[in-house]
Structure 1
Amino acid sequence: MSNLDSIPEDYQEKWGHPTPKRTPVVIRRYSSETGRTLSRTTSNARSVVSVALSRIATTMDEHIDEEDSNLVNWDGPNDPANPKNWNPRYKQFLTALTGLLTINVTLCSSAPAASVFSLSRRFGISLVASQLITSLFLLGFAIGPIIWGTTSEMYGRRIVFIISFSGFTLFIIGQALADNTATLFITRFLSGLFAAAPLSNGGGVVSDLWGPVERGKGVGIYATSVFVGSVLGPVIGGYLVQSGHQGWRWLFWCLFGFSFVCWVLCTAFLPETFAPVLLTRKARRLRKEDPVKNKDLYTAHEGADWSFRGIAQRAIIRPFVIMALEPILILLTLYSSLIYGILFGLFELFPIIWGERRGFDIGNTGLIFLGIGIGTTLGGFINVPLQRKFVHLAPLWQGFPPPEERLDAAIIGGPLLVIGIFWLGWTGEYSSIPWYVPALSTIPIGMAINLSFVSLLGYIIDTYLIYAASALGANAFFRAMTAFAFPLFTPQMVHHMGIQWSCTLLGCFSLLLAPIPWLFLKYGPQIRARSKWSPNPDLKIREALEGAGLLSMQSPRTSTASSKV
């Protein structure tokens, strides 16, 4: 018996609604954008939460009568064809594989940062121009999700991974063989464009495989892989570039080899996980098996608008409309963009602190990034116990716990980021201070990056649900554009303002934005209630729980509610 089944019948009277008839009710939402299918079946809907869910379905015009037998769906909640019901070990393997692909592309984004001096000498260009080797790749990161997010929505995850990884890998050859800056920079941008697919679709695979309870761990693994690759890049790149006069070419050949191996693994082992595409294949198979009997079978995915206008509306227009109208998304994107920009700004700041001020060579300077890696790993470990509460929250909230419950990690990460940046700036400025003192500051910075990033992305996903792809697309675009810009102005800022005052400026921005998680913890539900794009099923459920006396109306937190049921 679940927690909901144990709710006493007298709570129904407190809620003020008559007991519904004993007619089974099926509530399904099927979205071609996210592939989320919600199924709620009750033979005797007496719980207050079930009543709330019925109201949500009615309000959102998502109630589909059980008699609509032509709509192809999963064969019950335990259908083994549903990726969420696959073997947990297999899902862990696929999550790890997606993480490896993400490590690959993020490592390729940051590793060439160590080659800027070599490129400047080889092609006779300024250091600012040579820093385009990183920025142009990130510009491709910004534009790519618009392409790959839409194509994966149309054709599925697997084919997009295979095609995009092929292009990404082949264009690295152009970088290794480049004899002029035009070839180098164009192929670098195109590599970033194709490499954006694992970043935009990796989170989609995690969402396809894991439900609300386990999603936090999956997102944590995925987000950690983003930072692991970014951190390992300068370490590996530094030593490879240092290996000889043409070390930067050797670096690109090594990146090509790693990418080719990842492409082989992706092609061999990554299956299709996108539910709408899997259900469409099922419908086509059933229609083919019995063309007469099953001719009217359909899926919501097949009925979606795939015209150029419809695709442009979803992939290009909608993300920016949501961004313009949603204060939640604006503030969260501002904060996450600052974090992402700081991470890529460090690629240019570390050579100044440890190379120029302390005489480290390129390889040893790259080793400082291991502090960021240690910090992001520790942040991942801290995130694990923070996610355990969802095991208890998910049943009570019918799989829709309030998004504010995702903010604990960001609340911890905000102050850590501020502390780490001020520590780095005011100890890194003076060469008389031992090298390891500013190096230790990279650990809290890494922890803050992981904790905040995972928490904020989880909040966006849980807030916008069926519109999460659009919200994440807008967020990813502005994050990547910020990362594109930071490496271009960081060296000039540091040389003109000094290390300590440059970090003070960034620290003040971080301090200004650090209260955002606290703001949404307290006022998030009220802000979301006025949102046009947030479905807010938790608000309806909360109203039912408060009316039933299962949740205090004064408490902004919901973690204690499960103990009352």
Structure 2
Amino acid sequence: MEAQAKENVDGTSGTQQPDTGPTLAPTTTNPEIELAMMAYLDDHPAAIRRLQEHQLQHAQTVGRPGVPTINIQMLPFGGGKPYPPALLNADDYVVGFDGHHDPIHAQNWSRGKKVGITAILVLDSLAATLASSIFSPGSVDVETYFEVGPEVTTLAISVFILGYAFGPLAFGPLSELFGRRLPTLVGSCGFGIFNVAVAVSKDYQTLVICRFFAGVFGSCPLALVAAVLADMFNNQSRGIAVAIISATILCGPLVGPMIGGFIAKSYLGWRWTAYVPAFMAFTSCVLAIIFQDESHAPRISMYKGSELRRQTRNWGIHAKQEEVELSVKELMTKNLSRPLQLLLEEPVILVITVCTSFIYGITYLSLSAFATIFGQTHHFSRGVAGLPCLGMIVGVFLELFAVICTNRNYVRQLRANNDVPIPEWRMPLAMLGSVCFATDIYWAAN
């Protein structure tokens, strides 16, 4: 039955509003369809985990499903027409994927397509991390050109890393609302534009401000690349994909001093240390426009619902994502408070965060120290002074090789556990890496 809603709008009794329909749609559906879906989910536990992950993303990142409410003054339907009757069962109009092997789902794309999109993300991530250190070898020329001291020059490097901290707070929620593709394009384009602004800056204040915003937009691939890989790869192959991206992110700051040193001492000058990452970002942006499709499952469902509405002329068809009520306050509160909440309430996350922060700090400290040790003490040229970073790059690729070699054992454990991953399975390799890191630092210091 359809509920009739009446509301006294203008303060006088007897004013009747049109039918607003039930406030909550029934949750029951056709029994035969329901039994078939339950049987399918029992046979495919990965499918139900996908649904649970998408629901969790909606609840924790975007907002709650909207519930129709009666406003103080409802808008007229228009044309003197009454409101149409509400849908008897809204769940019957919600689109979804056609089984576990639906070809439009990102995890069912061809291997070539996945590899191509991953390569685009690698280029984008490399440009973002390369820009963090490629600027430092030309800092001496920047001091001379803008007539500032070395302490002030380091500010241009620091604010770029500071931008890394602010960018994910915006790009993370945007990727849940608008999918992965649009924020990736915005991040690549914005990163390229602000690097060009750095290259053509006429005063030091402009350079510092543009470096900060370049860091904000450059953090986009670093914040979204794991989500895109999780969209495309299953538990068995995701580890290798994440390892490749992680190696790229680590190699970016290491190759920066080498490239920046040779550029700065050449006829190109320090400004080209900003042009090079900009051109890389624009290239990845163009490639993403041409080859990168949307991988976010709820967004794909929205595209499917939109296409079905045009084909069937049934405007009640929609995706579950379109029922989400966007609350800007809730969006900002959750995404600003959740990282701190996880940091304080989850000891594992706290330990990993402290360890990773320490490693990154030592890495950038080493990059600064190498320029002094090998440049001033050993009298290496600016380009050659960055070559000792090759040893760190070799270490990164050795770790990548170790991940690839141990992934077969991980897949074996995964299959034995009904495709349910256990985080501790990755711990032995991380423990070995921690011991090697401490040993190498002690060795280098002596």
Please tell me the TM-score bracket, short chain as reference.
0.7 to 0.9
Rounded to whole Å, the distance in 2 between the matches of 1:33 and 1:205 is 17
Say if 1:33 and 1:178 are closer, same or farther in 2 by CA, change over 3 A: farther
Q: Which residue number corresponds to residue 430 of structure 2?
A: 410
Q: Which residue number corresponds to residue 221 of structure 1?
A: 244
3-state SS in 2 of match to 1:273:
coil
1:75-94 → structure 2 map (5 Å cutoff): 75-94=98-117
Rounded to whole Å, the distance in 1 between the matches of 2:345 and 2:144 is 47
Rounded to whole Å, the distance in 2 between the matches of 1:102 and 1:197 is 9
Rounded to whole Å, the distance in 1 between the matches of 2:368 and 2:412 is 44
3-state SS in 2 of match to 1:75:
coil
After TM superposition, the runs of 4+ consecutive aligned structure 1 residues lying more than 6 A away are none
Letter aligned with residue 427 of structure 2 = L
Rounded to whole Å, the distance in 1 between the matches of 2:165 and 2:341 is 17
| Contact 2:171–2:223 (Cα < 8 Å) also in 1 | yes
After TM superposition, give the deviation of residue 339 of structure 1 in Å.
1.1
Query: Aligned residues: percent identity?
Result: 28
Q: Which residue number corresponds to residue 466 of structure 1?
A: none
Q: Which residue number corresponds to residue 97 of structure 2?
A: 74
Rounded to whole Å, the distance in 2 between the matches of 1:342 and 1:171 is 28
| Contact 2:254–2:367 (Cα < 8 Å) also in 1 | no
Rounded to whole Å, the distance in 2 between the matches of 1:34 and 1:224 is 27
1:89-488 → structure 2 map (5 Å cutoff): 89-244=112-267, 247-292=269-314, 295=316, 297-426=317-446
Rounded to whole Å, the distance in 1 between the matches of 2:276 and 2:308 is 47
Letter aligned with residue 283 of structure 2 = V
Rounded to whole Å, the distance in 1 between the matches of 2:307 and 2:436 is 53
| Contact 2:128–2:277 (Cα < 8 Å) also in 1 | no
Structure number with bigger Rg: 2
Say if 1:104 and 1:340 are closer, same or farther in 2 by CA, change over 3 A: same
1:257-305 per-position Cα deviation (integer Å, ceiling 9, x unaligned): 333222222222211111111112212222333344x61x443322334
1:200-252 per-position Cα deviation (integer Å, ceiling 9, x unaligned): 111111111100010100101110110122211111000111114x7111322
After TM superposition, give the deviation of residue 96 of structure 1 in Å.
1.8
Relative to structure 2, which stretch is displaced further, 181-190 or 264-273? 264-273
Letter aligned with residue 136 of structure 2 = A
Rounded to whole Å, the distance in 2 between the matches of 1:159 and 1:242 is 38
After TM superposition, give the deviation of residue 358 of structure 1 in Å.
1.2
| Contact 1:33–1:153 (Cα < 8 Å) also in 2 | no
3-state SS in 2 of match to 1:401:
coil
Say if 1:109 and 1:32 are closer, same or farther in 2 by CA, change over 3 A: farther
| Contact 1:114–1:362 (Cα < 8 Å) also in 2 | yes
Rounded to whole Å, the distance in 1 between the matches of 2:387 and 2:58 is 42
Say if 1:326 and 1:218 are closer, same or farther in 2 by CA, change over 3 A: same
Say if 1:394 and 1:287 are closer, same or farther in 2 by CA, change over 3 A: farther
Say if 1:78 and 1:329 are closer, same or farther in 2 by CA, change over 3 A: same
Tell me the TM-score normalized by structure 1.
0.63
Letter aligned with residue 165 of structure 1 = S
RMSD, aligned CA: 2.2
Relative to structure 2, which stretch is displaced further, 127-136 or 191-200? 127-136
Relative to structure 2, which stretch is displaced further, 280-289 or 408-417? 280-289
Letter aligned with residue 144 of structure 1 = G
3-state SS in 1 of match to 2:319:
coil
Say if 1:310 and 1:283 are closer, same or farther in 2 by CA, change over 3 A: farther
3-state SS in 1 of match to 2:52:
strand
Q: Which residue number corresponds to residue 525 of structure 1?
A: none
| Contact 1:114–1:237 (Cα < 8 Å) also in 2 | yes
| Contact 2:231–2:296 (Cα < 8 Å) also in 1 | yes
| Contact 2:101–2:108 (Cα < 8 Å) also in 1 | yes
Tell me the TM-score normalized by structure 2.
0.79
Say if 1:312 and 1:236 are closer, same or farther in 2 by CA, change over 3 A: same
Q: When the two structures are aligned, how many residues end up with a matched partner?
A: 373
